[in-house]
Amino acid sequence: MIKFAKPILALLLLIGLGLPAHAQSKVAIVDLRKVFDEYYKTKAADKTLKDRAEDLEKERKVLTDQYQKLNDDWKKAVDGASDQAVSADEREKRKKAAESKLLEIKELEQNLTQFDRGSRSTLEEQQRSMREKILAEIRTVVTTRAKAANYSLVIDTAAESFNKTPVVLFTNGENDITTAVLSQLNANAPAGSAGDKK
Can you tell me whether residue 79 is helix, strand or coil? Answer: helix
| Confidence (pLDDT) at 191 | 82
Tell me, what DSSP letter sits at residue 22?
T
Report how far residue 117's alpha carbon sits from residue 137's, in angstroms, rounded to the nearest whole number.
Answer: 30
The 10 Å CB-count burial string (b at 16+, else e) for 155-166 is: bbbbeeeeeeee
| Cα(189)–Cα(40) distance, integer angstroms | 6
DSSP conformation class of 137: H
Give residue 198's pLDDT: 46
Run means of pLDDT, 10 residues per run, the chain, 198 residues = 51 52 78 96 96 95 93 86 80 86 92 95 96 97 95 94 89 93 94 61
- pLDDT confidence of residue 22: 46
